[in-house]
Amino acid sequence: MIRTRSSIGGILAFALVGAALAGSGAQDAVAGADPQVSVTSAEAPAGGEVTVSIEGDSGDAAIGAFTIDLVYDPSVAVARECTTSHGLCEPAINASTARVAGISLGGLMGHIEFVDITFDVVGTAGAVTVLDVQVIELADLDSKDLLPRTEVTDGEIRVSSSAAAALKGDADCDGQISSLDALAILRDVAGSGEAGCGQAADVDCDGELSPVDSLRVLRYVASLPVNTPDGCTPIGESS
Ligand SMILES: [Ca+2]
Ligand SMILES: [Ca+2]
């Protein structure tokens, strides 16, 4: 019995050392550095969506297991979906908290992308929610608790003014003007889709969407001259 157990232990130890060595090849740990966990900040108009990332650095450790919560104000932004490559994530373990939990046999070292979380922005312009990072668990490959020496940095989501952000001609509201905007207008006119930013799409300011609006956007994209009626914001400028 003893012999069997020790040989299993030996194999396991060998596997862990091998995995740790493999993991340390790409990015060497910085001796004496503390682990860090932070979240990116973002700004988006009301009704839009925004993705933030919880990132970190292993410092001088190799991270074997983690559980991290992100607490937010659901009157400003609500987490809708999340993606992680290290385990599992859930955008809403309750009305104001997203969670990611993961493990690594070889140990996560260097820069770490824990999770991407996409929020629907529901607050009014000027509203802000703190993104409160709460590290529930952070342990190395020996299950040693790294929490006491982990630096944690919060972020925020700010609701911008959509009126100021809207570019004339940006019919699909992606922040740039391209042939896709001309297509979005034409699809709207044909009844087979809706231009998300209707006011920005009405580039000749006559109060309705028409093929003329689409053509003007296409001329702009092709760097051809575009006449703008008096009192109408030119294509490519903020309205
Ligand atoms: Ca666009
Ligand atoms: Ca028009």
What is the tens place of the pLDDT at every residue in 101-120? Answer: 999 999 999 999 999 999 99
What pLDDT band is residue 185 in, cutting at 50, 70 and 90?
very high
Whether residues 6 and 116 share a domain: the answer is yes
Domain of residue 95 covers: 2-161
Q: Does residue 170 sit in the same domain as residue 156? A: no
Distance CA 61, CA 81 (A): 30
Top-confidence residue, 124 or 95: 95
CA–centroid distance, 162 to ligand 2, in Å, is: 20
Residue 205 pLDDT exceeds 60: yes
**Residue 109 within any structural domain of the chain:** yes
Quick: pLDDT tens for 126-166: 899 999 999 999 999 999 999 999 999 999 999 987 555 57
pLDDT at 164: 52
Query: CATH code at 206?
Result: 1.10.1330.10
Residue 95 pLDDT? 96
CA of 118 to the centre of ligand 1 (A): 20
How far is the centre of ligand 2, averaged over its atoms, from the C-alpha of 177 (Å)? 16
Q: Would you say residue 233 lies in a domain?
A: no
What pLDDT is recorded for position 20?
A: 40
CA 220 to ligand 2 center in whole angstroms: 15
CATH assignment of the domain containing 96: 2.60.40.680
Answer yes or no: is 196 within a domain.
Answer: yes
The model's confidence at residue 171, banded by pLDDT at 50, 70 and 90, is: very high
**Residue 19 and residue 128 in one domain:** yes
Residue 173 has a pLDDT of 84
Q: What is the pLDDT of residues 1-38, one digit of tens each?
A: 334 343 333 333 333 333 444 444 444 555 689 999 99
pLDDT digits (tens, 9 = 90+) for 51-90: 999 999 999 999 999 999 999 999 999 999 999 999 999 9
Taking the centre of ligand 1 as the mean of its atom positions, its distance from the CA of residue 141, in whole angstroms, is 47
CA of 207 to the centre of ligand 2 (A): 6
114 domain residue, yes or no:
yes
Q: How many Å lie between the centroid of ligand 2 and the Cα of residue 49?
A: 27
The residue among 198 and 106 whose pLDDT is bigger is: 106
pTM tops 0.85, yes or no:
no
Whole-number pLDDT of residue 162: 57
Indicate whether 132 and 209 sit together in one domain.
no
Q: What is the pLDDT of residue 13?
A: 38
Which residue is it, tokens 């690594």?
A: 104
pLDDT at residue number 24: 42
Residue 234 domain flag: no
Q: How many domains does the chain have?
A: 2
- Written in H, E and C, the secondary structure of the chain is CHHHHHHHHHHHHHHHHHHHHHHHCCCCCCCCCCCEEEECCEEEECCCEEEEEEEEECCCCCEEEEEEEEECCCCCEEEEEEECCCEEEEEEEECCEEEEEEEEEEEECCEEEEEEEEEEECCCCCCEEEEEEEEEEEEECCCCECHHHCEEECEEEEEECHHHHCECCCCCCCCCCCHHHHHHHHHHHHCCCCCCCHHHHCCCCCCCCCHHHHHHHHHHHCCCCCCCCCCCCCCCCEC
